[in-house]
Structure 1
Amino acid sequence: MMKKIVFLGCGSMGEAILGGMLAAGVSPTSVTVTVRRPERANELVERHGVTALASNEESGANAEAVQGASVVILGVKPVGIIDLCREISTALDPSAVVISVAAAVSLEQLEGALRPGQPVVRSMPNTPLKVGRGVVALSGGSSVEEHHLADAHAIFDGSGVVLDVPEEQQNAVSAISGSGPAYAFYLAEAMAAAGEALGLAPEIAQVLARETVAGAGMMLAEPGANATELRRAVTSPKGTTEQAIATFDRQGLPAIVKAGAESAAARAAEITAELSGE
């Protein structure tokens, strides 16, 4: 029997997950999506062939959608997750696995807003899921069994690499992979600015930086690739790259990246506390 999969909220990240899942072979007839606006619902129907409900038109759309579902993906912003869990709690099948993609919302908070024993998985996807190169970290709750995790893996497998981590590592995951794409974009910005400072035309500097970062990322994505080995292969003794890397080290770039990641992880913990009213 085909499993019913429901997306509650489907913004850009949710649609990236949905697209990867459908590309991996899941039938659109098994998928129901709820969004606020009817225009967005119609867009998703036309683009993906799924069933879509608009909560602005149907006040009970979320509870209606989850009835009989095997997998429910919570795709709303962190501030709205707990209220959404309470809204659908009694409509969920007790065996349905609920997957949250909201950053900083803990399993304890999710489980506390659902019926006791409801299987819950916390996930941390990142934006490269939109191009099939994402990475997703999953943490299972107290009632999650192996088959629930398998269902969660199946949702994300079509969009990137899926890893299982203890929940206490989720803030670190968020700091590295969740926020990480912004670090790469920031590096590309800095490289383009440096190129301009060296006399390149802005449009030339931007293309050089963009394509270099994108190309390096593709090399890193090759099976067995290692960042340290790739860097060393480009760094000839006494050459220009070696000089640049030595300057980065003297200026403390590794320590700066570490401090930034620590700040991101600390902010995630603060958000969790804020959502708990602490």
Structure 2
Amino acid sequence: MSQLYSTSITPEISSLRLCFYGAGSMAEAIVRGLIDQGLTAPKQIGMINRQNAARLDELSARYGVLAAFDNESKSVMLGEADIVFLAIKPKDAAEALKQLRHVLRRDQLIVSIIAGLSIHTMESLLGQSMNIVRTMPNTSSTIGLGATGISFSSSVPEGQRSLAEAMFKSVGMTAVVEEHLLDVVTGVSGSGPAYIYYMMEAMIEAGRGRGLSDEAARELTIQTVLGAAHMVKSTNEHPADLRNKVTSPNGTTQAAIETLDAHGFSQAIIHAVGRAADRAAEMGKDIERSATS
């Protein structure tokens, strides 16, 4: 029995073999975080994808990780891994997991970053109960400032739970939640960076429209968003309290906030988060239907 499966004590990540099934930007972010934080060595990490050999060559050259290109090598790499990261696109998930049914072992830890795919559906596709960590990271993980929601199948022991949290803390912060809340995590933080980018687009465009240069509008917007986020984090105050402190009666900020309210700004954000969460659930149901068809 492997060290990973046989103990509730958190194993040393550096002693384990990791395999990433999927080599997109999120997989790369996790790999970079693990290596940069000194949690493991590149030689302990293997990466595979469906057909993009050039991408694997790029990652191998950049980080020193191992890559498998033919089907036999892929099966060996997956079978020998202690931890398998499922980093494939949702639309490819059902087919891919069915193909893994006879490759993966019961004593492996499976870490999924597939949006909407439930633990129950994963176990059905794999044909057995397994130790599964379901996660929802966001794109800020690529710069070490990610936010990741994490849920566990009931069989995952404490040691493996701590291990999973440590891996994702290498690319940001983590929040352990009940699985049914992961769709909400998707709405808040998974898709969240895009809401901020969208607001920044509008701020930049407004500045340009009122005469600022492209560079000035961009830099002022970036610094404003950065500073606001740091203020919330460093003071630990509620955003509403900080907003009230800078909103003088009959001043410029009050006029701006009243305009946002008149256009339903808060409700638009609330509805956007809710729709993203609902869409994550819909995607999961689509995968489940394709798995049983």
TM-score normalised according to structure 2 size? 0.87
Question: 1:29 and 2:43 equivalent?
Answer: yes
232-241 or 122-131: which moved more? 232-241
Which of 162, 170, 174 is residue 182 of structure 2 equivalent to? Answer: 170
Contact conserved, 1:70 with 1:93, CA < 8 A, in 2?
no
Corresponding residue for residue 65 of structure 2: 50
The 3-state SS of whatever aligns with 2:67 is strand
Point out the more displaced range, 124-133 or 76-85: 76-85
Name 1:118's counterpart in structure 2.
130
Check the 8 A contact 1:63/1:87 in 2, yes or no. Answer: no
Post-superposition Cα deviations, 1:57-93, rounded to whole Å, max 9, x if no partner, equal x023432212232211011101112222222233223
**Candidates 205, 214, 229, aligned match of 2:241:** 229
Please tell me whether the aligned partners of residues 8 and 75 of structure 1 are also in contact (alpha carbons under 8 angstroms).
Answer: yes
**Cα distance change, pair 192–235 in 1 and its aligned pair in 2 (3 A):** same
The 3-state SS of whatever aligns with 1:129 is helix
Q: 1:184 to 1:190 in 2, by over 3 A?
A: same
Please state whether the residue corresponding to 2:173 is helix, strand or coil.
strand
Q: What residue identity is the alignment partner of 1:109?
A: T
Between stretches 69-78 and 144-153, larger displacement belongs to 144-153
Query: What SS does the aligned partner of 1:256 have?
Result: helix
User: Against the structure 1 CA distance between its residues 60 and 261, is the aligned structure 2 distance closer, same or farther, given a 3 Å change threshold?
Assistant: same
Give the match for residue 83 of structure 1.
95
1:66 maps onto 2:102 in alignment? no
Q: Give the Cα separation in 1 of the matches to 2:62 and 2:101.
A: 30
SS in 2 for 1:60: helix
SS of residue paired to 1:123? strand
**How far apart, in 2, do the equivalents of 1:90 and 1:119 lie?**
16
Q: Which moved more, 1:1-10 or 1:158-167?
A: 1-10
1:187 aligns with 2:199: yes
Same amino acid, percent of matched pairs: 33
Q: For 1:209, which of 203, 217, 221 is the aligned residue?
A: 221
Would the aligned equivalents of 1:13 and 1:129 in 2 still touch at CA under 8 Å?
yes
Partner SS, residue 180 of structure 2: helix
Matched, 1:245 2:257: yes
- Is the 1:124–1:136 contact (alpha carbons within 8 Å) kept by the matching residues of 2? yes
Structure 2 residue identity aligned to 1:5: L
The separation in 1 between residues aligned to 2:87 and 2:227, in whole angstroms, is 31
Runs of 4+ deviating beyond 4 Å: none
Give the number of equivalent residue pairs. Answer: 275
Report the Cα distance in structure 2 between the residues aligned to 1:115 and 1:62, rounded to whole angstroms. 20
Aligned partners of 2:93 and 2:287 also within 8 Å: no
Which residues of structure 2 form unaligned runs of 5+? 4-14
1:38 corresponds in structure 2 to 53
Q: Which has the higher contact order (CA 8 A, sep 6+)?
A: 2
Q: Which whole-Å CA distance do the structure 2 matches of 1:82 and 1:27 have between them? A: 31
Q: Which amino acid aligns with 1:7?
A: F
Q: Deviations over 1:185-220 (max 9, x none)?
A: 000011112223323234432332233223323333
**Does 1:259 find its partner at 2:258?**
no
Tell me the equivalent position of 2:22.
9
Moved more, 244-253 or 118-127: 244-253
Alignment of 1:134-173 (within 5 A): 134-173=146-185
Asked if the contact 2:147–2:189 (Cα under 8 Å) also holds between the matched residues in 1, the reply is yes
Indicate the SS of the match to 1:247. helix
Shift of 1:225: 4.9
